[in-house]
Structure 1
Amino acid sequence: MRHTSTIAPQFYVTAPQPCPYLAGRMERKLFTALQGEGAQRLNDGLSKQGFRRSQNVLYRPSCADCAACLSARIDVAAFTPSKSQKRTLRRNAGLERRATSPWATEDQYALFRRYLESRHASGGMADMDAFEFASMVEETPIRTRVVEYVDGETGALVAVCLTDVLDDGVSMVYSFFDPDRERASLGTYIILDHIQIARETDLPHVYLGYWVPGSAKMSYKAKFSGLQLHVGSRWERMRDPADYAAQAHPLNNESISDQVAGITLPDGEPLRAGRK
């Protein structure tokens, strides 16, 4: 009988780069490769510990002087739409949802370019070409869907979300939408519809990425009821946003080695930390 040994994931830390959320700060990311037969289980397990997927990599902010980036998810059972969110649902009642396999199209890329040029012209994705866009969508070792939103009258593609399906929820990896429909609040609508998707598939959570206290870019996430934040090693119901200001203090952060040591893997394999 042949036995094969399981190779434990190795974790690395990126070099410091300017933080995109807090001025004057530097960010680093803790990351590991997402590959092999255990990719889905690893993604499920680490997503519950604040990690996010980007193609075949799982990462989590791991800064030396700050712990402000907090993974956020919505507890679907505890969510109740606000008056404003109900209006957003009504405004977009004419949209049709189409969930497909992760395959990039020309229409998606055209919408993606319009979105970037309007909202993030100087961002890290501004120079992404069609081939890089296709890689972002299609290079996934786990269960992923592209959720498209189409105008029911014109057939025009107005919004897209790259969505991972986890064992306890759906994770919104990246979304973009028609920048000319500003009054439609499409960004909010995509989240609201993913809450509905989670309900339809009996999944308890919608993972939103990171919420950062003090960052105007992330303030919209705090407007969703039932929001939970991953603080330290556990999820908690979000309190007053002002309560999390101390997360940006240098003394409120663990060392890189302690952060790695606190990670729980699906089979409890030993961890090895490295640098890149």
Structure 2
Amino acid sequence: MNTNYQFGLTRDFPCSYLPDREEKLLVAVDPRLNNAQSYELLMSQGFRRSGDQVYRPQCTNCQACQSIRILASQFKPSKSQKRLLKKSSHFTLKLSKQQKPEYFPLYEKYINTIHQDGSMFPANVEQYSNFILNDFTEQIFIELWHDDVLINVAVTDLLSDALSAVYTFYDPDYRTSGLGVLSILKQVEVSISLSKQFLYLGYQIDDCQKMNYKNRFFPHQRLWENSWQTVNK
């Protein structure tokens, strides 16, 4: 990548995932990077987006956050994942290329019920739009329906050789249905159907219990010291 591109470095602030630690972000601030091709290259180097902001952790003396991506075409579900797929066979999957008005009420219910201790509480439309949507990638919205009820939406960026899981929100009334894991399994299915090589899942943090669901999909790759390392079961 052109070394003349401009990047910014945030100040240290309290880590969102590990107690008693601080985090710092490297942010792509150059407008020449605001396109799908550049974003895909940045993702291969450990970046991710929140709305239009593209960033990666740049913490002092800490490398706990590792970019993780599933090798979609080689993926083999575990026994528990197979059971979940069978248990959830009555749910219907639908794809949309447009953000729909009914998404925000589901997002609002999810945030205000499950993440009352998080920075996104209470949910509002402006915060939702600034976080979920962006102007430089094509998106697909992977929906799960129970009869005529929308129960889950996986906001997913569509890249040339990959899908990238941006955020998933679901109806808290279905919390016992394993929708977080199921949503990833469905994103893998869509990745395969679209002949994509990877499904990016963001960052894996081994010492953070609430983030340790991402490392249960095999085979996957982790970015370590600028090299993607394959992890087989």
TM-score (norm 2): 0.92
- Deviations along 1:64-122, one digit per CA (max 9) or x if unpaired, are 121110000101233211111011111221222222234241x2111112211232111
Which of 224, 230, 233 aligns to 1:237? It is 230
1:149 deviates by: 1.6
> 2:115 — aligned with what?
120
Matches within 5 A, 1:1-276: 8-33=4-29, 35=31, 39-105=35-101, 107-151=102-146, 153=147, 155-238=148-231
Larger radius of gyration: 1
Task: Give the CA deviation at 1:8.
Answer: 4.9
Number of positions where the alignment pairs a residue of Structure 1 with one of Structure 2: 232
In 2, Cα distance between the equivalents of 1:176 and 1:118?
11
Q: Displacement, 1:19?
A: 0.7
Shift of 1:35: 4.7
Percent identity of the aligned residues? Answer: 30
State the match for 1:252 in structure 2.
Answer: none
Compared CA separation, residues 136 and 20, structure 1 to 2 (3 A): closer
Deviates more, 1:90-99 or 1:76-85: 90-99
- The aligned amino acid for 1:47 is M
Letter of the aligned partner of 2:159 in structure 1? Answer: L
* CA RMSD in angstroms, aligned pairs only: 2.1
Distance 2:216 2:36 in 1: 30
Native 8 Å contact 1:34 1:141 kept in 2: no
Greater relative contact order, per chain length (Cα 8 Å cut-off, separation 6+): 1
SS of residue paired to 2:172: coil
Aligned residue type for 2:138: R
By how many angstroms is 1:47 displaced?
0.7
Unaligned runs of at least 5 residues, structure 1: 1-5, 241-276
8 Å contact kept, 2:220–2:232: no
d(CA) in 1 for partners of 2:212, 2:150 = 27
For 1:114 and 1:87, locate their aligned partners in 2 and report how far apart those are by CA, in whole Å: 28
Which amino acid is the alignment partner of residue 119 of structure 2?
A: G
